[in-house]
Structure 1
Amino acid sequence: MVGDAGVVEGQGAHSCHPTERRFPPHLIYGAHPALTRRSPRRHAHAVRRPDDAGVTVTRESEVLDRAASLVVTPAVVAHRGASGHRPEHTLESYRTAIRMGVDDIELDLVITRDGVLVARHESEISRTTDVAGRPEFAHLRTTRTIDGIELTGWFVEDFTLAELKTLAARERMPGTRPDNTAYDGAEGIPTFNEVLAMVGAESVRRGRTVGVMVELKHATYFDSIGLPLDEPLLDDLARHGLDGPWARVSIMSFETTILRRLATRTRLPVIQLLEKAELRPADLEVDDPRTYGDLASPEGLAWIDEYADGIGPHKSLVLPRDGSGAIGLPSTLVRDAHRLWLTVHVWTVRAENRFLPTNLRFGGAPDALGDMAGEVRALLDAGVDGVITDHPEIALGEWRRRHAAFTPHPPGAGWLRP
């Protein structure tokens, strides 16, 4: 059956179709951290790769001597769900991505006034909800400085969950994605618990484990106002049985402080996100001048290696652009990270011309679709372990072309346990 957004129902990357893969893509990292971490957190000197009999062990030299992925099959991760087709961070956006066959969904978490984690990309919500047109909340409009940026609007931390649940979700980029506006108002803001329950139900229904990559937003800011994110995060994961070593869950942040703290409290994989090279982590001390470019250097990666299991770099750190905006040869970042057994999940790959390198654009219209598949190919050729994308169907199509002969295996992580 053909589902929404041109998706063939039941034929995703991890579907039960006999020709499609069902082996967990995060075989090195995420599927069983307890087997792969070296003291105190991570990887031993071998990786696990499947053969016809099941799982074998491969020496590290066979992987590290080439620019190859550390995982058997690089993951396709749905950025805020299938946000190229539905308003971001709605349950239908996540469901659409799962129907497409993604390996993981990515979601961002912020926190309400009464301490409930909800899925929003940032705490200011005027761009993604109808709050600006709700007179009963006009008094909550205010100005805040968050992560060094002054913002005016409505903020999740000023709402109780009950109040937030009265708002309707909307498309963030209506000019770029006008078709998505047809779904404006169809849903509200989901809680983290609701997302986990939905993903668990979909995993059971489809007979494959769908992973969750969680990004913690504004963690230092929320600490400063008495709403730390780590405790409710760990509580919610435990409530769904996703706090053990087999859970298909990763925890990400651009801020180093929250990740270093969580690295001592959970066995779940921790991923340090990396912004464009010239930007700087919001939580570093004033006298610490390091940028994300510094953290992406071999010295910076060695520092990240003390607490994290992987990195999530902006795609420009892997595929630098020249003065004309075109991509050429990849940087050494993937190879440098893999030498430390840090996995690499790159973000954010989008299909519209305005987000693509100039040499992969089709025509001059910024909102027309370009050659996103070409960018995915370049990233996979660079050896990344996962691609985080608004348009997972395009990345999955490229994945299928590369892995058509992959031998299917039963799922073995997260909600579906061995």
Structure 2
Amino acid sequence: MFIKSLAASLAALSFLPKSSRALSEKIQTLSDLVESTPEEVKLWREIRNQFLLNPDLVHLNCGSLGASPRIVIDSVCAYMRELEGDPVHHEWGGISSGMDEVRDAVAQFIGADGDELVLTRNTTEGMNSVATGLGLKKGDEVLTSNYEHGGGMVCWQYLARKFGVKVRYVRIPRQVRSKEQILELVEDKISRKTRVCSFSHVDTITGMQMPLAEIAEITRPKGILLACDGAQAPGMLAIDIKKLGVDTYACSSHKWMLAPKGCGWLFVRKEVQERVQPVVLAEGYRAYNASIGTREVPLILGHGTAVDFQNAIGRERIEARARELNRLLRRRLDEMPALERITPEQPELSSAIVTYALDPEKGQNGQIVERLFKDHGIRIKPAQGTYAYVPNEEDVPRESYNALRFSTHIFNSENDVERVTSVLREILA
């Protein structure tokens, strides 16, 4: 049975301290559930029990911050106790040697080689490392979009202010019809001066997937570096980073990968590492394959536990579950006249994030979000529209969507979907 194999996998997690291994025994209690309950229902119910989320909370905002399972939290605590027993030994030896294993585990998780990945604190740190390491100069152009988060946007705008680099924007429309539409918009904006294209894998506003592999087919022959803000994809989507064709990819693992807060990583493809000169060097390009300086060792090792936790369940199974809940949520919300879905329908353009524009006559999104949480314990995200970080240029106007953003992950359930849709139906009636 899959559930028993999951229990066995958790019992053997490579990064799990002995003090936490007892958690895997809880999964075996599934044998007491009624036989008529479908196997998958048993599995997801037990997985939900592995999280410390308040029982009265419906957390539909993994797009802002994920929740770490107990097994990750307990491993961090165990590593912290061990480190504080002999701080010098374990900070630069002892348990800290496991950070290399974590780096390799993360690399394998995304289909990369260990020497193409460095452990960071978040996406913003990774994106800034790329932007400041490229040596761009006045007249060089960076092409990005009006849907970027500040973590992947302001690094390029800093280069514009400091060095005269020109930042240009692809204006992605409110309703995207196809990959071809996006590719045409991107290709039309590329010029002879374009040195970098920088896009989110899954955009933070609507949850739309950018067709990165197809964009790479445009950029690579031209020698344009394709940088990616991947804050919203790994841990939700079963990605293969080599197939995406990106040159750099920065991630916040404390979102969908369910790692401890303050954990992330940066992928830099081997073939472009000479182009991206790291700000902090440790024996040359060891900066790409070794953690340097004093680091948060227990958190990084807990990151490894989070990877093992997801591997034990299966990346494809996780993506399927997150999407399944999101499809159910969409079906319910699509029925509400006050809501207009602005996330594409096609699987290749969508994800486990879905966003709806709210009819202003029914209220402002911030008020609805606050009411959902204060009165009903439901956590979602207000999405204003194209990001305020985009300069108000003539061809890239800021747009207000007055939108509500919903994220579904493996700690959510069908009951969460029914609860939020029932409450919204009443509020928006």
Q: TM-score, normalised by structure 2?
A: 0.23
Q: TM-score, normalised by structure 1?
A: 0.24
Instruction: Mark the structure with the bigger radius of gyration.
Output: 2
